[in-house]
Amino acid sequence: QVEPVESGGGLVEAGGSLRLSCAASGRTFGSYGMGWFRQAPGKEREFVAVISWSGGGTDYADSVKGRFTVSRDADRFNVYLQMDNLKPEDTAVYYCAADLRKVGNTWSRINSFWGQGTQVTVSS
């Protein structure tokens, strides 16, 4: 399977907005939906948001609830992340995935390969 391709990152001031896009090649059998993870310098990669394949279900990390909105194209394997009211602590490389699943209370991936990601930097 081909890694997803993320785009839309950049440098923005605190309080600003960015919209990330991702194009995946397909869905993984047994997955719940598509979504986003991020990894800040010196930290582990963490879950950000997920949207179900039907588009009717979403979930967010507590740190981004009310500020980020995940969406997807109904007929394509594209997922988006609208990020508003950005904070310096949102600075990270953002990765998308098309194989999210929930294990207990934790969102994770079925596969282990990652794309290049897209850098988001929020200045204070």
Give 92's strand partners.
120
Residue 67's pLDDT is 98
| Mean pLDDT, residues 73-90 taken together | 94
Residue 34's pLDDT is 94
Residue 2 pLDDT greater than 80, yes or no: no
Residue 1 pLDDT greater than 80, yes or no: no
- How far apart, in Å, are the Cα atoms of 25 and each of 39, 83, 103, 123? 23, 24, 24, 33
Tens-place pLDDT, residues 15-55: 999 999 999 988 889 999 999 999 999 999 999 999 999 88
Structure-token pair, residue 96: 């998308």
| Mean pLDDT, residues 1-23 taken together | 93
